[in-house]
Amino acid sequence: MTTVTTKITKAGGSRSMPFDRERLYTFIDEVTADIRIPSYIDQYKEKVMKTIEAKEQFSAEEITQLLLLTAAENNDVDMPEWTYAATKIFLKDLYKKAAYNRSYDAEQKYGSYYGLQKRLGQLGIYDPTILRDYTREEIEEASSFIDPEKDHLLTYAGLRTLNDRYLAKGFDGKEVYELPQERWLTIALTLMSQEDRSKRMGLVKEAYWALSNLYMTVATPTLANAGKKAGQLSSCFIDTVDDSLQGIYDSNTDIANVSKYGGGVGVYIGKVRAANSDIRGYKNTSSGVVPWIRQINNTAVSVDQLGTRAGAVAVYLDVWHADIFEFLDLRLNNGDERKRAHDVFTGVTLPDVFMEAVEARGDWYLFDPHEVRKVFGWSLEDSYDEEKGNGTFRERYEQCVQSNELTSRKKVNAIDVMKRIMQSQLETGTPYMFYRDEVNRMNANKHEGIIYSSNLCTEIMQNMSETVVIEQIQDNGEILVRKKPGDFVVCNLSSVNLGRAVRADVLPRLIPIQVRMLDNVININQLPVVQAQMTNHKYRAIGLGTFGWHHLLAQNHIAWDDPEAEKLADQVYEDIAYRTIQASADLAIEKGAYPAFPGSEWENGRYFERHGYFDQDEDTSFAGNDHWKELAGQVRENGIRNGYLMAVAPNSSTALIAGSTQGIDPFFGASYVEEKKDYRVTVTAPDIDGENYKYYEKNAFQQDQFASIRHNAARQKHVDQSQSFNLYVPASIKAKTLLDLHLTAWKSGLKTTYYVRSSKVDIRECEWCQS
């Protein structure tokens, strides 16, 4: 047998020592203690030893990587325990490296948290918030909350993702300083830093409990940036572009600033005049929305998100806009490249009357929004149908149809527009679908405005308006430039891990601390766009969502297409909605209601009636709904802290960290391979075993998509905003079937659909709404 020498490198020098087989075997026995079949451990030892014996020399780092990757390769649906063996190996390595960089004994696992704050503060990686706002005694008390055993809740894929993307490191991006439990504690301390000192440490402990047990996750920007100098904490923003040269360029600047600091952006461009519209009375001079979208596209590419990735922008346009066909072709890979914008995502806003025309195979009319404003004095996009089948939008739309003054009016077949939408979806995954009438009917703050579109991931529904620039010449000859700020939407996101929190029955304890954490993001966050900061405080909007829906179904032995899934969705999301509203109402008593509360449907109780929790015209509530009536009374009397409350984000990366299934989507089968730049790892369905295997067996493209719509409809009744809901379709899907899916989604009361994920299309995802 070849003598093997392991080179061990320590700070300040290196030395070699003989390879110790027994020491290695002892280590393997320790990390594989949970592997059920002893012969698998023997095979693992044999495979590792053969690799070691094939070389004369190994470094300690190489042996660690060999142990790690061999354990990760063993992970499969038959032996999912191997992921936790790999976790233990990776943790040992992280503990050793952190101890070396922070000068403490690795056997402790975790060193001084106060020392970590000082060290990373000196390096300029942490901001001074925690050291400034907490005493040393408080920080040391907080460090006593850390439970290193919670590290073992992480799967290898989850730990690897957390380490590679989110843990604070040295400036080279490789030096290990912060460990997993310290990330959770740093988030907790940051979000509770402005709470009353008399109860602050108890709130920090609760927030750490929620995060460390993986009962919830925070949004990617909060996970990545809390306690650090770079970036901000909110996920997504939505801007409305004014129909003026100054407004267009100002919006582009705002988009650049938001993207620079790590936010994804949704942009409503439906107010901008169409191609061949007039400019200052000169006819046929406008080039339409496409050149401006290309400019936004260039901004998304040029202004990256803190050097980590290109900016992410979604642009929305109304289906009646005269430029709709050019808009739908923006991301196609053929045609005139001068009319393409491949780096933005697209969304189309759809009124009920259009979907009715599609179903009836009727006519549809296109208009220039600028000409509509000139002729009628109102904007078509500023209205919606207040009731199903009846309302202001269809009345105004019909006026436009009948008007002889609208020279831009063009008649097309509604089904032809829909065909172009579906063609683009099957080739590119977009456009997203935004059902604007249902969105605005269910808007609790319609007294303050209208919702034109959604964000990058289609789950945010909040009031929007354009910012208008006003120039005035002063008596002294100076030009005073003022802005009338519009509602620039901000999304603050966090998600419940259904697969862990529901099973553990912790929702009554979890949701109050989660809502408080989200509300505190609003106060702590410094946003790069002033009107975004103003809107954030006006509505104090949050987006409490969920992930792990498929995980929860499998735990309950419910098949995806079983009607019991719809019942479970109704029950679980009503419970979450009730607890979220209650938590925000309690916060309002403590801290005050959001400024736009007066006149809202929260105040007059219409919100609760619209969602079917009770009928205000009845003297008595429906059976079992007394608690809703009591809650509505509390809200009416004392207000609610947050004007928007629930939104279900896609959260694939954070769901991976938490060891569950992403969002509300079906899993990708019993297992799949996660490919990264320098490694690949098999991810098995969470908690998979012989009893629940059949509930994961089908991959996402094999699951009944009509069942997915029914799940969504059941939960949408309780979600005041919307959901990042993907349709998974085979590349061979018939146009009639895809059309039927869209019509069913619209009729079921869904507000949006996200990507149409064809089995042949590779979609570049946005990560900033992941929570």
Which residues are catalytic, by number?
A: 455, 457, 459
Structure tokens at 395: 């009345």
Find tokens 């059902």 and name the residue. 435
Structure tokens at 401: 């149809």
Instruction: Report in angstroms the alpha-carbon separations of 346 from 327, 497, 537.
Output: 8, 29, 28
Return d(Cα 602, Cα 442) in angstroms, integer.
12
> DSSP letter string over 304-344?
-STTSS---EEEEEETTBTTHHHHHTTT-SSS-GGG--TTS
Structure tokens at 299: 């901004």
Return d(Cα 485, Cα 469) in angstroms, integer.
9
In 3D space, the residue among 610, 617, 633, 640 whose CA is nearest the CA of residue 720 turns out to be 610
Find tokens 């809901």 and name the residue. 725
CA angle 50, 52, 57 (to 5 degrees): 150
Beta strands 671-675 and 727-729, pairing class:
unpaired
Return d(Cα 454, Cα 766) in angstroms, integer.
14
Measured in degrees and rounded to the nearest 5, phi and psi for residue 547 equal -145, 170
In contact, 320 and 380? CB cutoff 8 Å:
yes
Q: State the angle between helix axes of 563-591 and 705-716 in degrees (0 to 180), rounded to the nearest 10.
A: 30
DSSP 623: T
N- to C-terminal Cα distance for the chain? 52
In contact, 692 and 683? CB cutoff 8 Å:
no
In 3D space, the residue among 448, 487, 718 whose CA is nearest the CA of residue 607 turns out to be 718
